[in-house]
Amino acid sequence: MNRLLQYPAAKPLLFAAALGPFAWLFWGAWANTLGANPAEALIRALGDWTLRFLCLTLAVTPLRQLTGWHALARLRRMLGLFTFFYGCLHFLAYAWLDMGFALAAIVKDITKRPFILVGSAALLLMLPLAATSFNRAIKALGARRWQGLHKTVYAVALLGLLHFFWMRAAKANFDEVAVYAAIVAVLLGWRVASWWRSRSATRRAAVG
């Protein structure tokens, strides 16, 4: 599997696959096949794909550690950038289709509705992560600072989940929220457990 993941075509294939939802939604909007309320369908679908790509990005490290497929790490950056891509499209669709790009109305809506506020906060937190997802940024910041900055993705995941929860609360529909909450809990729980094991091992080594 590591050899397959290191194959030169792996990244172009992932790029094409990650663009698939965008192409499908674009065609649906063009052909008017998104249902009775296409604007709402488009906004929500883009939000769903943002959360899905966020989960995929967070899943890279646990999968790499569990399977030994270390070459997965070379795909994580692209998954993270597509998370930001779909998040931007989600916000732009809301700003255009719901608010008509009326800046004052958008600002008022963000401050008035908590689920839009936390969603906007998650997108803003993703901005520096996307801006520093390049080797030159790692060299400029230093590995330790860069890693510290990119741990912000955990806050992004929690804010994104809260955004989704509050959005679904209006219709008391929490089935999908529960699924994403379970996935995020497992992925973040894995990291907490790994950190605790590493800390315990360091303490034992110091005592020994």
List, for residues 111-166, the tens digit of each pLDDT value: 999 999 999 999 999 999 999 998 898 889 998 999 999 999 999 999 999 999 99
What DSSP element (H or E) covers 2?
Answer: helix 2-5
Q: Look at residue 206 in the predicted model and tell me its pLDDT.
A: 67
Q: Look at residue 174 in the predicted model and tell me its pLDDT.
A: 85
Q: Are 47 and 159 in contact (CB under 8 A)?
A: no
List, for residues 32-81, the tens digit of each pLDDT value: 999 999 999 999 999 999 999 999 999 999 999 899 989 999 999 999 99
Q: Look at residue 180 in the predicted model and tell me its pLDDT.
A: 95
Whole-prediction pTM: 0.93
Confidence of residue 208 (pLDDT cuts 50, 70, 90): low
Residue 198 has pLDDT above 70, yes or no: yes
Query: Mean of the per-residue pLDDT values for the chain?
Result: 92
Q: Are 122 and 154 in contact (CB under 8 A)?
A: no
Confidence of residue 195 (pLDDT cuts 50, 70, 90): confident
Residues 6 or more apart whose CB falls under 8 angstroms from that of 72 comprise: 5, 60, 63, 64
Confidence of residue 207 (pLDDT cuts 50, 70, 90): low
Nearest to 87 by CA among 157, 26, 10: 157
List, for residues 74-122, the tens digit of each pLDDT value: 999 999 999 999 999 999 999 999 999 999 999 999 999 999 999 999 9
Residues 6 or more apart whose CB falls under 8 angstroms from that of 74 comprise: 5, 6, 10, 11
Mean of pLDDT values over 13-17: 96
Q: Take residue 110 and report the two structure tokens written for it.
A: 């963000």
Q: What percent of the chain has pLDDT over 70?
A: 97
Mean of pLDDT values over 191-195: 86
